[in-house]
């Protein structure tokens, strides 16, 4: 029968002298030995055989036979040796190990590293250089499961230092199905997502505007708070471009700079540049500064070139600088803001637009006071802004809008009367054109207004498909009165008629911008009903609303603008929610009761039963300008295979606005994605691109660097099938057993 001396050995070895401890190291726990037979002198050296095991702290050594010297801390194991050090496991025929400094040598080991991604491999020899520090000779590395090994990394020598979070490989080769696809004399790489200088994996693409495209990024970790990515890009149809991305961070500021240089575009026959700077800075005394600057060399930059420059739209690029400050005078908070706002307008020759005004500068002040006398809330916003334009009327506008509100709130109801005065004046560099009502250079106007917002909230218990929910009924009444003041003698710098929408039903002014304040004598009535879970989550909602006018409007955006004469607005209605577990939908409409027709509507639905299974479908209709179908999806089509696509088509124009089709294959330890995208880049210019990405889990990827971002932008609800967190993987791709059990 087996005979165990584990308890005796533990007591003897635990009495090791303190000198065995490394100076400054944490105290070591006791060493225990478990085996079928233990022999030797307990104070010096023992030999164990028959399923022998030595354990100390998080280190465990198992073998058919073990020899352990207590004084030297040396252990020698033979025959089916297994070493477990923390989360790492090693297997082989022979091991020498020192338990005092965690060093040793393992002959012909195979290994299992259970870090962020479980990896395995083998080597002719392993040198254990310390805790979490390994050197492999003639090593292999893969994240594929045993028996698969579709890809593996081979190296003459491989060092993994998890203390410094750095890896180094000499003569590495990456094999994919036995075929070498990448090789280098030496590489170093980060471990556990630590930043490190070095070459990143190259990317490839094929587009109709640039031809074959190849980029090789180099990452420079300048300092813990600064880094730079340099990417030389070769484009077969255009030449060589250099893309730069610089990031910086400090206690008081942070930002990023993107700079793109194409010295000689062969197709454009000129040099081309793009720059984007975003900067935020906390200055002394509580002043905050922000810069958002974007500029490209020509109007066709985004049409012809893939760009990292932040692109707010294809039309207007902002060039913005802001200083802001907030403080308080007693119990009255206030804020100050100074801003310079310019735009670069990129013109399409077939759809020329009027560039917006520049604001140089714009000064804003706002102060507020709440609960004055226990009744009133007051606010005092003020603004000064100077507008400049290369071809249009220029001038400055100053405005002041003091307001006071008296909210009455209680469970189930609210009433909020509000009143204010809108004053606006101008200093124009020239008078308005002769066709205007007046031609003065300093027009001004003062407009008083008042509003009353009120509502009720009723609720009751309800049943919805077998669930107990709370149903609410929420009627709301909103009244606005603004007397008529002639404003035809004032310019229009930044103002337009606001889009008629549900939020706009509850505003005092039907215009957006500061140049017009519309006359009004009107009331808005809405009714909303919701179905809510006990935790407040909304299951279903329905809303309907309409505005009723007691007087015809007289203030237009310009003297020639058409004015409303009807006594009621269009009806706005919307429904939406999550009727079933995997289904969600939204629908909204604007209905003209007088002419009995739909002015616009949208209908959208999403079906998503699980991760990486999603179908989106929507239809947008605007009677005069939009009729668009938009369908997108990600769906499994076979084991490991996922189809992705988007179809956005304009029925009114009879053309595809954006189309995308591709697939993704997840083999467990590697993923391949390929997508063909067609985009209407300009009025008569379409761009077609072929992108692909081959990703090796735990190592990196080859192909288009932004393939995943492209899919996320075009397919709402898209999910990668190989997330770093295994809990977010599609259910069909989750391993049935833990990795180590398969091993």
Q: What are the tens digits of pLDDT across the range 102-136?
A: 899 999 999 998 877 788 999 999 999 988 889 99
Does pLDDT of 469 surpass 80? yes
Domain assignment present for 690: yes
Residues 567 and 678 grouped into a single domain? no
Residues in the chain: 743
Q: Which of these three, 579, 602, 637, is where a domain ends?
A: 579
pLDDT at 108 (0 to 100): 93
Q: Which of these three, 153, 177, 198, is where a domain ends?
A: 198
CA 111 to CA 177: how far, in whole Å? Answer: 21
Which has more pLDDT, 704 or 533? 533
Of residues 86, 87, 85, 105, the one with CA closest to residue 95: 105
User: Could you tell me the two tokens for 65?
Assistant: 């036979």
Residues 527 and 636 grouped into a single domain? no
Segment among 60-74, 325-339, 397-411 with least mean pLDDT: 60-74
CA distances from 480 to 347, 499, 552 (A): 40, 18, 14
Q: What is the mean pLDDT of residues 68-97?
A: 89
Which has more pLDDT, 19 or 95? 95
Q: What is the mean pLDDT of residues 626-630?
A: 94
Domain assignment present for 484: yes
Residues 570 and 629 grouped into a single domain? no
Does pLDDT of 454 surpass 90? yes
119 CB-contact burial (10 Å; exposed 0-12 / middle 13-18 / buried 19+):
buried
User: Could you tell me the two tokens for 342?
Assistant: 């310019």
Q: What is the mean pLDDT of residues 477-481?
A: 98
User: Could you tell me the two tokens for 514?
Assistant: 């500061």
ω into residue 533 within 30 of 0, thus cis? Answer: no
How many CA atoms are closer than 13 Å to the CA of 441, on its beta-carbon side?
7
**Which of 113-122, 201-210, 277-286 has the highest average model confidence (pLDDT)?**
277-286
Residues 642 and 563 grouped into a single domain? no
Residues 629 and 553 grouped into a single domain? no
DSSP tag of 8: H
Residue 427 · residue 442 · CB < 8 Å: yes
Query: In the structure, what pLDDT confidence band is assigned to residue 182 with cuts at 50, 70 and 90?
Result: confident
Does pLDDT of 666 surpass 70? yes
CA 463 to CA 107: how far, in whole Å? Answer: 69
Q: What is the pTM of this model?
A: 0.80
CA distances from 608 to 616, 635, 659, 715 (A): 9, 10, 21, 12
Residue 137 · residue 123 · CB < 8 Å: yes
What average pLDDT does the chain have? Answer: 87
| pLDDT-above-90 percentage for the chain | 56
Domain assignment present for 330: no
CA 325 to CA 520: how far, in whole Å? Answer: 35
Return the beta strands (E) in 373-434 as ranges.
376-388, 395-400, 403-405, 408-410, 413-428
Q: What is the mean pLDDT of residues 282-310?
A: 85
Does pLDDT of 383 surpass 50? yes
CA 68 to CA 54: how far, in whole Å? Answer: 9
Buried b (16+ CB within 10 A) or exposed e, 463-473: eeeeeebbbbe
Domain with 51 in it: 6-198
Does pLDDT of 44 surpass 70? yes
| Dihedral angle sign, alpha carbons of residues 128, 132, 138, 144 | positive
CATH code at position 150: 2.60.450.10
Does pLDDT of 550 surpass 90? yes
Which has more pLDDT, 703 or 301? 301
Q: Which of these three, 180, 198, 216, is where a domain ends?
A: 198
Segment among 113-117, 395-399, 448-452, 536-540 with least mean pLDDT: 113-117
DSSP tag of 178: T
pLDDT at 1 (0 to 100): 32
Residues 574 and 627 grouped into a single domain? no
Segment among 73-87, 340-354, 666-680, 703-717 with least mean pLDDT: 703-717
Query: In the structure, what pLDDT confidence band is assigned to residue 14 with cuts at 50, 70 and 90?
Result: very low
Does pLDDT of 313 surpass 50? no
pLDDT at 119 (0 to 100): 85
Does pLDDT of 480 surpass 60? yes
| Residue 713 parent element (H or E) | helix 707-714
pLDDT at 525 (0 to 100): 98
| pLDDT-above-70 percentage for the chain | 91
pLDDT at 431 (0 to 100): 64
User: Could you tell me the two tokens for 60?
Assistant: 């465990």
Domain assignment present for 574: yes
Q: What is the mean pLDDT of residues 538-552?
A: 95
User: Could you tell me the two tokens for 113?
Assistant: 């590293």
Residues 535 and 444 grouped into a single domain? yes
Distance separating the N- and C-terminal Cα atoms of the chain:
31
pLDDT at 679 (0 to 100): 82
pLDDT at 81 (0 to 100): 92
Does pLDDT of 12 surpass 50? no
User: Could you tell me the two tokens for 185?
Assistant: 């004399």
Query: In the structure, what pLDDT confidence band is assigned to residue 18 with cuts at 50, 70 and 90?
Result: very low
User: Could you tell me the two tokens for 379?
Assistant: 């606010």
Return the beta strands (E) in 57-176 as ranges.
59-69, 74-85, 88-98, 103-107, 110-114, 118-122, 125-130, 133-142, 151-161, 166-170, 173-176
pLDDT at 194 (0 to 100): 65
Domain total for the chain? 3
Which has more pLDDT, 195 or 708? 708
Residues 659 and 549 grouped into a single domain? no
Q: Break the chain down into helix, strand, coil percent, rounded to 5.
A: 5, 60, 35
Residues 415 and 554 grouped into a single domain? yes
């Amino acid at each position: 029968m087996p005979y165990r001396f584990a308890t005796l050995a533990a007591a003897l070895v635990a009495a090791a002298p303190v000198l065995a401890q490394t100076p400054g190291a944490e105290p070591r726990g006791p060493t225990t030995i478990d085996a079928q037979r233990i022999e030797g002198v307990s104070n010096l050296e023992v030999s164990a055989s028959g399923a022998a095991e030595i354990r100390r702290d998080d280190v465990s050594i198992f073998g058919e036979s073990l020899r352990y010297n207590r004084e030297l801390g040396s252990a020698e194991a033979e025959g089916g040796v297994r070493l477990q050090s923390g989360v790492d496991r090693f297997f082989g025929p022979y091991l020498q190990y020192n338990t005092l400094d965690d060093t040793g040598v393992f002959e012909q080991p195979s290994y299992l590293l259970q870090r962020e991604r479980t990896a395995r491999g083998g080597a002719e020899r392993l040198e254990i250089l310390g805790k979490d520090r390994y050197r492999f000779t003639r090593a292999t590395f893969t994240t594929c499961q045993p028996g698969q090994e579709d890809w593996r990394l081979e190296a003459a020598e491989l060092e993994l230092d998890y203390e410094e979070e750095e890896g180094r490989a000499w003569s590495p080769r990456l094999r994919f199905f036995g075929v070498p696809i990448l090789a280098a004399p030496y590489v170093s790489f980060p471990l556990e997502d630590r930043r490190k200088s070095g070459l990143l994996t190259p990317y490839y693409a094929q587009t109709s505007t640039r031809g074959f495209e190849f980029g090789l990024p180099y990452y420079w970790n300048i300092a813990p708070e600064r880094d730079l990515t340099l990417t030389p890009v070769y484009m077969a149809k255009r030449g060589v471009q250099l893309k730069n991305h610089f990031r910086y961070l400090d206690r008081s500021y942070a930002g990023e700079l993107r700079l793109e240089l194409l010295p000689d575009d062969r197709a454009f026959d000129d040099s081309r540049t793009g720059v984007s700077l975003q900067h935020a800075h906390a200055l002394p005394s509580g002043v905050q500064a922000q810069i958002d600057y974007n500029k490209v060399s020509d109007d066709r930059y985004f049409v012809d070139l893939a760009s990292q420059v932040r692109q707010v739209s294809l039309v207007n690029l902002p060039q913005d600088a802001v200083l802001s400050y907030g403080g308080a005078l007693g119990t009255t908070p206030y804020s100050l803001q100074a801003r310079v706002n310019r735009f670069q307008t990129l013109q399409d020759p077939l759809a020329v637009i009027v560039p917006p005004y520049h604001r140089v500068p714009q000064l804003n002040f706002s102060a507020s006071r709440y609960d004055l006398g226990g009744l009133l809330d007051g606010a005092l916003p003020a603004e000064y802004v100077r507008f400049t334009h290369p071809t249009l009327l220029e001038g400055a506008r100053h405005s002041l809008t003091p307001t006071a509100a008296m909210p009455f709130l209680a469970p189930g109801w609210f009433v909020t009367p509000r009143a204010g005065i809108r004053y606006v004046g101008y200093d124009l560099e020239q008078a308005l054109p002769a066709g205007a009502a007046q031609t003065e250079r300093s027009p001004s106007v003062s407009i008083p207004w008042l509003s009353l917002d009120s509502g009720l909230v009723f609720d009751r218990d309800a049943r919805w498909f077998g669930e107990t929910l709370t149903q609410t009924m929420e009627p709301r009444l909103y009244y606005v009165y603004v007397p008529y003041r002639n404003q035809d003698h004032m310019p229009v710098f930044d103002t337009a008629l606001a889009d008629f929408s549900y939020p706009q039903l509850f505003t005092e002014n039907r215009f957006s911008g500061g140049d017009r304040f519309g006359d009004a004598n009107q009331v808005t009535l809405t009714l909303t009903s919701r179905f809510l879970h006990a935790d407040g989550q909304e299951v279903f909602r329905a809303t309907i609303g309409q505005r009723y006018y007691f007087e015809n409007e007289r203030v237009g955006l310009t003297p020639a603008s058409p004015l409303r004469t009807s006594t009621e607005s269009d009806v706005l209605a919307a429904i939406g929610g999550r009727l079933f577990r995997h289904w969600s939908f939204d629908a909204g409409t604007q209905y003209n009761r007088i002419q009995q027709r739909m002015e616009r509507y949208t209908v959208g639905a999403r079906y998503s039963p699980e991760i990486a299974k999603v179908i989106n479908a929507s239809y947008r209709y605007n009677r005069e300008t939009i009729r668009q179908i938009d369908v997108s999806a990600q769906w499994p089509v076979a084991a490991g295979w996922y189809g992705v696509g988007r179809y956005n088509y304009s029925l009114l124009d009879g053309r595809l606005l954006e189309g995308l089709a591709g697939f993704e294959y997840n083999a467990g330890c590697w993923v391949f994605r390929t997508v063909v995208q067609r985009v209407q880049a300009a009025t008569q210019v379409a761009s077609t691109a072929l992108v692909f990405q081959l990703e090796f889990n735990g190592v990196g990827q080859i192909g288009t660097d932004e393939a995943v971002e492209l899919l996320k932008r075009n397919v709402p609800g898209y999910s990668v099938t190989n997330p770093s967190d295994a809990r977010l993987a599609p259910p069909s791709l989750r391993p049935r057993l833990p990795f180590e059990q398969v091993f």
